[in-house]
Amino acid sequence: MAVVSQVITPEVLTTRRPTGALLRSSLRLRRTQIGLGLVLFILAIAIIGPHVAPHSGSDFVGTPNSTSVPGALFGTDHIGQDVWSRFLHGGLTILVLAAASTALGLVLGIVVGLIAAYSRNVVDDILMRLMDVILAFPQIMLALVAIATVGPNPLTIILAVGLTTTPRVARVTRGASQPVVERDFVAAAEAIGVPRFRILLSEIFPNVLSPLLVEASLRLTYAIGLIAALAFLGFTTNPGAADWGLMIQENYIALTVQPWGVVLPVAAIALLTVGTGLVGDGIARAAAGIDRSRGAG
Amino acid sequence: MTTARPAIVVDRLQIGIQGSGLDIVNDLSFSIAPGEVLGLVGESGSGKTTVGLALLGHARRGAEIKGGSVRIGDIDVLELDMAERQRLRGRVISYVPQDPASALNPALRIGTQLREILDTHNYGKNGEERRARVAEMMREVALPDTGRFLHNYPHELSGGQQQRIGLAIAFACRPRVIVLDEPTTGLDVTTQAHVLDTVRDLATAHGVAALYVSHDLAVVGTLASRVAVMYAGRIIELGPAGEMFQASSHPYTQRLIVAIPHLTGGRELVGIAGHAPSPGRRPPGCAFEPRCTFAIPQCREAVPDLRPIAEVHDVRCIRAEEVRLQAPTRSGEIPRDGSVKTLQPVLSLQGVHAGYRRKTVLHEINLDIAPHECLALVGESGSGKTTLARSIAGLHGDRWGIINFNGTPLAKVARTRPREIRRSIQYVFQNPYGSLNPRRTIRQIVSQPLEVFGTVKGDQIDRRVAQMLERVSLTAAYANRFPDQLSGGERQRVAIARALICEPSVLICDEVTSALDVSVQAAIVELLHSLQRDLGLSMLFVTHNLPLVRSIAQRVAVMSNGRIVELGGVAEVLENPKAEYTSRLLSDTPSLELALETAAVS
Amino acid sequence: MLERPGPAGGPARTGGIRLFILRRILQGLLVLVLVSIVVFAATQALPGDPARAILGRGATPASLAALRDQLHLNQPKVVQYLTWAGGLLHGDAGRSFAAQEPVSKLLGDRIVNTAFLLLVSGVISIPLSIFIGAYAALWRDRPFDVVTSLATLVFAALPEFVVGVALVVLFATTVFHFLPAITLIPPGGRPWDQPIAIILPTLTLVLAVTPYVVRIMRASMVEVLESDYVEMARLKGLPERIVLRRHALPNALGPTFQVIAINLAYLAGGVIVVEYIFNYAGIGGALRDAVFNRDLPVVQAIAMIIAGLYVALNLLADIATILVTPRLRTRL
């Protein structure tokens, strides 16, 4: 056994609440701080933006694709609307849809993954084969198939993104839970007859929380990218309304004359996804650090 | 002792944690003559593996060799640059790792791994000579030298065979010095005995100086001519093997010896309270002082020097002379009788079979456990002893035959058993690092059965938890901690407390000490023994450690290949074994008695 | 105490490998069948009458009936599914609603174009990312590793279309102008005829895949470098380059294959967006247009192609992993 890992003693780390400690120690990392800053910044634009925008999202303020229109900070878009106002209005939809679909995918995925890992039998096989079927599609393609049949309404998008997120979360949950299921404290609980769902909830789940936190931020990152990409491809829940993804698509043709209609939303989405990515990585690093200092356990 | 020039001289070796100023190993000096085996003994965290690696000029990630010298002939290994060290390693000094299963590359055939060390160091004149050397090595470590065998991948060999490959690789280039890092940990006693024989033969036959690193005094005693005992990064005693056992002069060595179970004459084991300090927490004086019964105020002032107390016998204790006079505390013989079987058995196993999928691993087990009796179940790994224990506890469902508890047949799976039975039969697991949920506090862990059984409510729960923790010699303050803030021994005590809070009538202990150091093992066995006596528990004590049986059980069942090959009173079975398997097990088990004999001979 | 396995039986049985591959192929086919059911069922959820959707509002009842007949819409769903799935096996994916052409004809050239784009991206990104990942692991916590780690983190987080659009802004329109912003492939032409035009789409895809493979390769390599057998190889006195080439790298590659396969399969998702950005004539762009026009036969066909690609890549990865991991081989 590695002598060094024993040498850095477990006592050094006095954790009270393991999950709280994880979040706290991840917040001490510079990348988590930057990531969180970025996320909060974009969140602020998306939430406060609509209230401070000089125009409504659909007001016409000047000639199309012009960069010098009085009162329009970043010029006008392809049909003469104020780019800055549309930008301020366009963030909320993406964020709400992404959060909702990630939440759906996480809940379903965690339930499926925990049950699969703990059942260790046919149930596991069936569940994971089903997940494989969903995994056989790139997320964006399944979303497109759903849109092709039902149309791009909010529910379709949340369901499509949420359900395609499920198997990915389920795999991570199952993978993290499998070694935990084999550990003796689960057997100890079984031996005294702790009910199955209590074992899942209070013995196994707390032990897979840190990989799941990482996975949650990862999935949120992808959900944002995916929903923005769908809008970019022209599939928004409310055609004509301001939406960052849609803005990029609408103004893409005029990129050479009026770049702001593209650059602003692209930058916002980039900062947001990089922000969530950094937060996830920070949590992952903090978790790895804690595991290491737990030593030979 | 040889007067020949030592093959390797280690002088004031100092190894620290990188960038911290803390030392893992300090002021370490010894030498080994050609053909001599020096045993380096220490419990986990003492720094013994770090020392072994430093002899090859290697430090693991996070550790750093800070000073001292390691001389082989005229060369100081620590002065060499990387390329020169490479040329030295494997050719002049080689290493046998602790766990051969992970130290052999899983993706390369064993023949390739043997051949590459010869190729790297240009052994012999040509490929033909190297091929011959590979075959010769295989014969020396008693493995087949056929091409077919060399074509195997490591995972296709048994643990013993893998370790023989490790030895073959180490001896391949005929080095002058060899470092063996607990090479028999994890092997069965029979395999261990064979590997030890091979090591001894090869070392003497080729005049190789060997450093044998181990946590097991008994193993070292049977192999080494001199023994060095390490504690908290320093050698605290160094002397001839025989003297070390009979006239040990450091309190720690003495306590260590008392903690080792004896094969003959059952003795109560005496553990050492507390645990060894880690770097950064070592006291300014003698590191053992906080746990030492000989301690006086001066002990805290400075680290004692390693000084001679007899010929070639050094010790690091200011009261060594007094300590030396005091023979290790011989505790009284435990009265054991094998005739408690008059009462109706608590547990009765009739024709029990068990398996995994289609493979049967338990055959026709018949066994009774009487009230207030401790029955030991002994066997090597794979003998089925754990499966049997788990079947009784309802953790292994794939079994048939009858297991009666107070005359009532038990359901196969714990979940389907009545609450009263789940409460009455308690199980303590082998590995305390795995049996406590790291995300729950000790209070939550210990009180879990109370919640499930609903016997105790409200603030009574905290009182019961505190009682139980005190019962296992912890304090109520432990209740707020998490398992990773506890040492291995403390965790095992918590696991025992969790079992006791149910007020069971049967306690099943599955290899509960195998993950612990000897001194801690002794303390746990002490605790279990007193609990069993005071609470009148019936106990099934599963172990692979034959001498340990003496110190706790009244009767013993010996298992081999899923069958019980011998069953009887402890003294009767250990002194006059009937089954051939038992006698072989006994003769292969390293023990202090054997160590003393070996030391007397040499 | 570790429980050790008893002496395992002899050298690897090669028959096991063949059986394993066969079993994996069958499993893959099963997934494909399930996928086809999902695709078929999903497209059945279309509200209203597909025949009317195709012919539009001015259709006569007679022509509607004729089309329904032609599309087998009057038959039970099971028969419809079997007819469709059977057709797929013969390369007949039905007729496009929008183009009124056989889907196979519509997609033929586009499949080749997309395959080419994926191939070029894969060939560039895989060796590159294995190299970067291994190198970062070797220089763990040094500047190269820190920079790589941050770069992969950022690029892994960015959606493909953001990267693609940013590249266009940077190199084709606003900042510099030396690369074409779109890939124009004339009918009958091939993408490899104009290598300049495929630089940006390829770069976008490479940037999408590389971060993942780099990260898994680095993690895998770090683990292997910390392993007992690599330490042992060093203690045997092997030169560092042999330690790395013979002992570390092969063992680090095993777990990486799976991730490579999954990421290549997801390239197929990224390709939808990338082809749309660069107006590249492949099946990704076609899928976007088909979804826009609700051209179900085309959507179905492309969904099946991409799912098939995923299954095939996973199969290859499994076989590759088995081949570099002797331990798995014997356990079969």
Between CA B240 and CA B229 the distance in angstroms is: 11
Based on the fold, state whether residues B178 and B30 are members of the same structural domain. Answer: yes
SS3 B275: coil
Between CA B1 and CA B32 the distance in angstroms is: 10
| Chain B closest-CA separation from residue A57 CA (Å) | 50
Based on the fold, state whether residues B320 and B391 are members of the same structural domain. Answer: no
Average confidence score pLDDT of chain B: 86
CATH number of the domain within which B378 lies: 3.40.50.300
Domain boundary pick from B271, B293, B325: B325
Higher pLDDT, A158 or A21: A158
Average confidence score pLDDT of chain A: 80
Q: Are A1 and C231 in contact (CB under 8 A)?
A: no
The verdict on A98 touching C (C-beta cutoff 8 Å) is no
Q: Are B440 and A206 in contact (CB under 8 A)?
A: yes
- Whether C237 sits inside 8 A of B104 (CB atoms) is no
CB contacts under 8 A, B 150-169 vs A, are none
Report ipTM for this prediction.
Answer: 0.81
Q: Which CATH class name applies to A91-240? A: mainly alpha
Beta bridge partners of B555: B375, B569
Question: What is the secondary structure of B36-97 as a DSSP string?
Answer: -EEEEE--TTSSHHHHHHHTTT---TTEEEEEEEEEETTEEGGGS-HHHHHHHBTTTEEEE-
Question: What is the secondary structure of C248-264 as a DSSP string?
Answer: IHHHHHHHHHHHHHHHH
> For residue A15, what pLDDT band results from cuts at 50, 70 and 90?
very low
**Sign of torsion over alpha carbons B507, B508, B510, B511:** positive
Question: What is the secondary structure of B141-201 as a DSSP string?
Answer: TT----HHHHT--GGGS-HHHHHHHHHHHHHTT--SEEEEESTTTTS-HHHHHHHHHHHHH
The verdict on B216 touching C (C-beta cutoff 8 Å) is no
Residue of B nearest to C235 (CA): B89
Residue B339 lies in a domain: no
3-state percent breakdown (helix, strand, coil) of chain B, nearest 5: 40, 25, 40
Amino acid B195 reads V
Q: Which of B89, B104, B121 comes nearest C235 by C-beta? A: B89
Based on the fold, state whether residues B440 and B297 are members of the same structural domain. Answer: no
Question: Quick check: A12 pLDDT over 60?
Answer: no
Six-digit token string for A277: 């990515």
Based on the fold, state whether residues B61 and B209 are members of the same structural domain. Answer: yes
Residues B44-60 have pLDDT tens digits of 878 888 899 999 999 88
Between CA C133 and CA C247 the distance in angstroms is: 16
Question: What is the secondary structure of A150-171 as a DSSP string?
Answer: H-S-HHHHHHHHHHHHHHHHHH
Based on the fold, state whether residues B366 and B273 are members of the same structural domain. Answer: no
Task: Average the pLDDT over B435-458 and give the result.
Answer: 87
| Chain B closest-CA separation from residue C15 CA (Å) | 17
Task: Average the pLDDT over C256-273 and give the result.
Answer: 81
Between CA B505 and CA B235 the distance in angstroms is: 45
Residue B1 lies in a domain: no
The verdict on B156 touching C (C-beta cutoff 8 Å) is yes
Between CA C317 and CA A38 the distance in angstroms is: 37
Question: Quick check: A211 pLDDT over 90?
Answer: no
Q: Are B309 and B324 in contact (CB under 8 A)?
A: yes
SS3 B346: coil
What predicted TM-score, i.e. pTM, was given to this entire model?
A: 0.82
Q: What are phi and psi of B543, to 5 degrees?
A: -155, 160
Closest CA to B211 of B240, B182, B174: B182
CB atoms within 10 A of CB A36: 17
Q: Are A70 and A131 in contact (CB under 8 A)?
A: no
Q: Which of C154, C270, C294 comes nearest A148 by C-beta? A: C294
Residue B139 lies in a domain: no
Q: Are C169 and C175 in contact (CB under 8 A)?
A: yes
Query: What pLDDT score does A286 carry?
Result: 82
Between CA B258 and CA B253 the distance in angstroms is: 9
Query: What pLDDT score does A297 carry?
Result: 29
CB atoms within 10 A of CB B41: 28
Between CA B528 and CA B539 the distance in angstroms is: 9
Query: What pLDDT score does C10 carry?
Result: 34
Between CA C317 and CA C313 the distance in angstroms is: 6
Six-digit token string for A282: 């920070």
The verdict on B146 touching C (C-beta cutoff 8 Å) is no
Q: Count of domains in chain B? A: 2
- Whether B433 sits inside 8 A of A297 (CB atoms) is yes
Task: Average the pLDDT over B294-311 and give the result.
Answer: 88
Between CA B536 and CA A271 the distance in angstroms is: 68
Based on the fold, state whether residues B311 and B234 are members of the same structural domain. Answer: yes
Q: At what angle do helices C296-324 and C14-44 cross, to 10 degrees?
A: 160
Question: Quick check: B533 pLDDT over 80?
Answer: yes
The verdict on B485 touching A (C-beta cutoff 8 Å) is yes
Six-digit token string for B253: 């060595």
In the sheet with B425-428, reading across from the earlier edge strand, the strands are: B425-428, B506-510, B538-543, B374-379, B555-560, B563-569
Question: Quick check: A100 pLDDT over 90?
Answer: yes
Question: Quick check: B542 pLDDT over 90?
Answer: yes
CA A175, distance to chain mean position in Å, is 20
Based on the fold, state whether residues B572 and B468 are members of the same structural domain. Answer: yes
Closest CA to B13 of B62, B61, B47: B47
Six-digit token string for B194: 């064979």
Closest CA to C118 of C268, C259, C261, C310: C268
Residue B314 lies in a domain: yes
| Chain A closest-CA separation from residue B57 CA (Å) | 16
Based on the fold, state whether residues B381 and B507 are members of the same structural domain. Answer: yes
> For residue B2, what pLDDT band results from cuts at 50, 70 and 90?
very low
Q: At what angle do helices A209-232 and A244-252 cross, to 10 degrees?
A: 40
Closest CA to B251 of B282, B281, B211, B296: B296
Residue of C nearest to B514 (CA): C1
**Sign of torsion over alpha carbons A250, A255, A261, A265:** positive
**Sign of torsion over alpha carbons B192, B198, B204, B208:** negative
Task: Average the pLDDT over C123-135 and give the result.
Answer: 91
Residues in chain B: 602
Based on the fold, state whether residues B454 and B530 are members of the same structural domain. Answer: yes
Helices (H), A57-121: 83-89, 92-119
Residues A25-78 have pLDDT tens digits of 888 888 888 999 999 999 998 888 888 877 776 777 777 777 776 766 777 777
Six-digit token string for A100: 């909702």
| Chain B closest-CA separation from residue A112 CA (Å) | 22
Residues B69-96 have pLDDT tens digits of 999 988 899 998 988 999 999 899 999 9
Q: Are A206 and A249 in contact (CB under 8 A)?
A: no
Domain boundary pick from B269, B292, B325: B325
Six-digit token string for C179: 């690369």
> For residue C264, what pLDDT band results from cuts at 50, 70 and 90?
confident
Q: Are B134 and B114 in contact (CB under 8 A)?
A: yes
In the block, which residue shows the tokens 């609980």?
A: A189
- Which helix (H) or strand (E) segment is B229 a member of? strand B226-231
Residues B481-529 have pLDDT tens digits of 888 888 888 899 999 999 999 989 999 999 898 888 888 888 888 889 8
Give the max Cα distance, chain A.
Answer: 76
Beta bridge partners of B543: B378
Residues C39-56 have pLDDT tens digits of 888 767 665 566 666 666
A232 chain-C contacts, CB cut-off 8 A: 161, 273, 276
In the sheet with B209-214, reading across from the earlier edge strand, the strands are: B93-96, B177-181, B209-214, B37-41, B226-231, B234-240, B313-315, B307-310
B61 chain-C contacts, CB cut-off 8 A: 226
Closest CA to C306 of A160, A146, A129, A138: A138
| Chain A closest-CA separation from residue B402 CA (Å) | 19
What is the domain extent for residue B596? 347-601
Based on the fold, state whether residues B464 and B585 are members of the same structural domain. Answer: yes
In the block, which residue shows the tokens 């084991």?
A: B269
Query: What pLDDT score does A11 carry?
Result: 35
Higher pLDDT, B461 or A1: B461
Six-digit token string for A209: 């929380």
Amino acid A111 reads V
Q: Which of C6, C238, C251 comes nearest B120 by C-beta? A: C238
Based on the fold, state whether residues B299 and B393 are members of the same structural domain. Answer: no
Q: What are phi and psi of B104, to 5 degrees?
A: -95, 140
Which range has the worst mean pLDDT, B29-38, B50-59, B189-198, C206-215? B189-198
Query: What pLDDT score does B350 carry?
Result: 92
| Chain C closest-CA separation from residue B175 CA (Å) | 11
B510 chain-A contacts, CB cut-off 8 A: none
Between CA C25 and CA C27 the distance in angstroms is: 5
Between CA C280 and CA C288 the distance in angstroms is: 12
Closest CA to C253 of C261, A135, B474, B67: C261
Closest CA to A161 of A204, A104, A79: A104
Residues with Cβ < 8 Å from B505, sequence gap 6 or more? B346, B371, B424, B425, B537, B538
Residues C64-87 have pLDDT tens digits of 777 777 766 677 778 888 888 888
In the sheet with B347-356, reading across from the earlier edge strand, the strands are: B359-369, B347-356, B399-405, B408-409
Based on the fold, state whether residues B283 and B403 are members of the same structural domain. Answer: no
Q: Which of C229, C234, C238 comes nearest B58 by C-beta? A: C234
Residue B85 lies in a domain: yes
